Amino acid sequence: MSAGTIERPWQRWLIRLGVFIAMVILVVPGAWVVLTAFRPNIEVLARPAVWIPQQLTLHNFLGIFGQLDTQQGLPVANYFINSLVISITSTVVAIAVGMMGGYAFARFHFRGKAALFLGFMLSRTVPGVALSLPLFIIWARLGIIDTSFGLIIVYMAINIPFTIWLTDGFFRQIPADLSEAAQIDGCTRWQAFWKVEFPLARSGLASAAIFAFLTSWNEYALASQLTRTTASKTMPVGLMDFTAQFTVDWTGMSAMAVLIIIPALILTFIVQKHLIAGLTFGGVKG
């Protein structure tokens, strides 16, 4: 609302109602997946549908780990390790390269700067699914199909342009005078960056890291095309192990989905303070 406009009570309640409805729409699907992970299969498949759980159990989690005699387990540990290695490696490299690229775009002037930055941004407009076929052909010729290395390269290429864009905004909010003052006091440009500018941009880099990690952790379309065996399959691709020609194991798939959600939630809560500060810090472009 414009300055001087008095917000009426009904407007305030209308806004709250809209926010509440939006939150319900966002939360209900995730909550339903979590509930399904703890419900017996007979209750999930019941007709008419059972909306309120009558029984909660851990059998679905025990089943996917092969702890039940009636169900064959899946290599969940292998999928988890693959996802962790691929996501962390691609995120670390993307942050390192993106931080240097963002700093260069924010601080230096060079020929073709605008065109190069626009090229990075345009690369983000190409859907990942559209790249799956050419990537598969190239990766097959290079011999890196069904390898963690091949998937790491793909996620690096996806995350680096986005990280450059984010970190460029963060570094633009830091006055260049701070670095110049540090250099006058005897610091080299490298020391001024690490001792002055990097600590100020740390919150922004944390938000860029969480976005890059979640992109790699949750990505399915490309991973499903470039992986074949447990040597490189990630957790999202492992969800397809619960589908057969005529049936779907909804309880097992939901249990696996909960295992995918938990690390992302833990990481988000750990860096929550830095994430919020970073999004606020980089919210205005210079």
Per DSSP, the three-state class of 40 is: coil
* CA-CA-CA-CA torsion sign (2, 6, 10, 13): positive
- What is the model's pLDDT at position 13? 87
Q: Provide φ and ψ at 243, rounded to 5°.
A: -105, 135
Is residue 89 pLDDT above 80, yes or no? Answer: yes
Which residues share a beta bridge with 248?
A: 243
Q: Which residues of 81-114 are buried (b: 16+ CB within 10 A; e: fewer)?
A: ebbeebbebbbebbbeebbebbbbbbbeeeeeee
The tens digit of pLDDT for each residue in 105-148 reads 888 888 888 898 888 888 878 887 888 889 999 999 999 999 99
Say what the pTM is.
0.83
| pLDDT tens per residue, range 146-156 | 999 999 999 99
Domain ranges across the chain: 9-64, 76-281
Is 1.10.3720.10 the CATH number for 76-281? yes
What is each CA distance from 67 to 73, 102, 145, 253, in whole angstroms? 7, 48, 32, 16
3-state secondary structure of 108: coil
Q: What is the pLDDT of residues 238-261, one digit of tens each?
A: 988 888 777 788 888 999 999 999
